Amino acid sequence: MTVSMMQASTNGNNQATAKTATNDVVLAARHITKTFGNTQALKAVNFDIYKGQVTTLFGENGAGKSTLMKILSGVISPTSGDILLDGKAIHFNSAAEARAQGISIIHQELSLAPNLNVRDNIFMGREITNSKGVDYAEEERQAKALMEELQESIDPLTPLEELRLGQQQIIEIARAISQKSRILIMDEPTSALSATEVEVLFKVINDLKKRGVSIVYISHHLEEALQITDHAVVLRDGTMTAYAPRKDIDLEWIVRHMVGENFDLGSPPTGYEMGNTALEVDSLVIHDPKGGAFNVVDHLSLKVREGEIVCIYGLMGAGRSEFMECAAGRLKADSGRILLKDEEISSLSIADRIAAGLALVPEDRQKDGLVQTMSVGQNLSLASIGEFTRRFFTSNKAETHLINQSIKDVTVKTDSGDAPIGSLSGGNQQKVVIGKMLATHPNVLLLDEPSRGIDIGAKAEVFRLLAERAKQGLAVVYSTSEVAECLSIAHRIIVMNKGKIAAEFNANVSKEKIMAASGEAIKD
């Protein structure tokens, strides 16, 4: 699935112009504009999809990528403009109508039912039936085949809520593949996947291409996306700003068109003295929460000083998330101690740990970090509501001041604190989660994969924020599966492998040494 043969030239309004070759164009957007109230999300965008090729769509959070894909997949309608399927104008009133025409989308935020099992999630809304009703045996057979294709040993009858986030994302991918679509839109499909799972997904994508399936691929993992793209398109502020075939692009080209010249992801903050030990973990042991006969965290000991940024790197399953959740009080330790400023907090509740000065930004912001029915402001003030509540009454003035200050401090792009949280881009939602926890005035801030699903510009803003707070004495523990992030922000890098600390490095270590210590295969 390719994109149109657009020239990299731009016209007066910075819109990349399209010179379309009609051969093999299966779906085309023409002058698509979309407005939400006073906000113009898309501005006369042209976009073509070609048979059997991958077009990668790059852009910052809020650039309009997801909006364009929702229009092409029937989730929402454009304000103006046309959609052409096989050269003929078409209008979708729903995602179901788009699916009937062979167009499917894997959304950035998972749309699964946690109370159902894997099989039922894959076939939800399009059950296989026979004369007796739903043919569960056939659904289970096909679900097993899909799991084998994706190289995941997941029982189709496993309740979804028992799977980790990366496995749930695999189920979302399996559901889309099972629909045998001719056009498949993937919006951040690898954001929670391990390196091995990404490799398997790319093999599946190449197989789909051979079958003539067209792929639109959206990702903030820029280097990863370059491995599979045939064409690259960049959106910026709702406008298409650049297009080029794979042979003409590199990482610098993408970043330049996304965020401008002279972009810098950041570096570890310097120029100040670190303080005393803020967080100490002593011989922490956590048995497998799912009942396995092993420790997901195995006698881990760690100290973090005031003003220090420590990155914990490791592959999926290394024990990073379990360690973070245990430190925050969300997961019980089997043995070991956790001390905050020399005071043991191992027996404290989550709320008491927050009050003591330890806060966690969780991996899954949608499930654990935000309340979707609340506004931006309500989400920001939620964790510190006790500060301005007296005798069951809330001081609206104090809460409003906190909300406005937090929006300013973490640079949330929103019209006001009253805006729905769902109106924000992924990067701004993540900044709300960080702002909510910073509003509790922590001494130690834990962040578990905080850059998941956010663009490189938003990531740089988060890094700058953490650097500023570290200079003010905040101890930061940052868990990530991206080596580049460690090298951009950390004073010290801890590598975890199979629940243990496999290595410890300073900021000058090479990428290869970090990966080797984690047990990750290094490719030429």
* C-beta separation of 410 from 438 below 8 A: yes
The secondary structure of 154-173 as a DSSP string is --TTSBGGGS-HHHHHHHHH
What residue segments make up the domains of the chain, in order of their start? Answer: 6-102+181-259, 112-180, 275-357+442-517, 369-441
Can you give the C-alpha Rg of the chain in angstroms? 24
pLDDT for residue 262: 57
275-357+442-517 classified as CATH 3.60.21.10: no
Reference 362, options 458, 429, 277, 284; nearest CA is 429
pLDDT for residue 310: 97
**CA atoms in the 13 A half-sphere facing the CB of 439:** 31
> Is 439 exposed, middle or buried (CB count within 10 Å of its CB: 0-12, 13-18, 19+)?
buried
Residues 168 and 495: their CA atoms lie apart, in Å, by 25
Tokens 């109230």, residue?
Answer: 37
pLDDT for residue 90: 93
pLDDT for residue 520: 57
> Is 254 exposed, middle or buried (CB count within 10 Å of its CB: 0-12, 13-18, 19+)?
buried
The reply to whether 6-102+181-259 and 275-357+442-517 are identical in fold is: yes
Q: Strand 103-106 relative to strand 183-187: parallel, antiparallel, unpaired?
A: parallel
pLDDT for residue 409: 84
What is the CATH class of 6-102+181-259?
alpha beta
pLDDT per position in the chain (524 positions), as tens? 333 333 333 333 344 434 444 458 899 999 999 998 877 899 999 998 989 999 999 987 778 888 999 999 999 999 999 999 999 999 999 988 998 999 988 877 778 898 999 999 999 988 999 999 999 999 999 999 999 988 888 999 999 988 877 788 889 888 888 888 899 998 888 877 777 778 888 888 888 898 899 999 998 788 888 899 999 999 988 999 898 888 998 888 888 888 765 566 678 899 999 999 999 999 999 998 777 778 999 999 999 999 999 999 987 778 999 999 999 999 999 999 999 999 999 999 999 999 999 999 998 887 888 898 899 999 998 888 777 776 666 668 888 888 998 888 888 888 889 999 988 877 788 889 999 999 999 999 999 988 876 777 778 888 888 999 999 999 999 998 888 888 888 999 999 988 999 999 988 888 888 888 887 544 44
Task: Give the CA-trace dihedral at 132, 135, 137, 143, to 10 degrees.
Answer: 180
Residues sharing a CB contact under 8 Å with residue 76, sequence separation 6 or more, in sequence order? 34, 67, 70
Task: Give the CA-trace dihedral at 498, 503, 504, 510, to 10 degrees.
Answer: -110
Q: Strand 214-218 relative to strand 39-50: parallel, antiparallel, unpaired?
A: unpaired
Residues sharing a CB contact under 8 Å with residue 73, sequence separation 6 or more, in sequence order? 92, 95, 98, 103, 104, 105, 185
What DSSP character marks residue 347? T
Residues sharing a CB contact under 8 Å with residue 120, sequence separation 6 or more, in sequence order? 113, 139
Is the pTM higher than 0.75? The answer reads no
Could you tell me how many residues make up the chain?
524
Residues sharing a CB contact under 8 Å with residue 401, sequence separation 6 or more, in sequence order? none
pLDDT for residue 203: 87
3-state SS string over 423-489? HCCHHHHHHHHHHHHHCCCCCEEEEECCCCCCCHHHHHHHHHHHHHHHHCCCEEEEEECCHHHHHHH
Q: Which amino acid is at 9?
A: S
pLDDT for residue 258: 82
pLDDT for residue 4: 36
Reference 299, options 287, 313, 315; nearest CA is 287
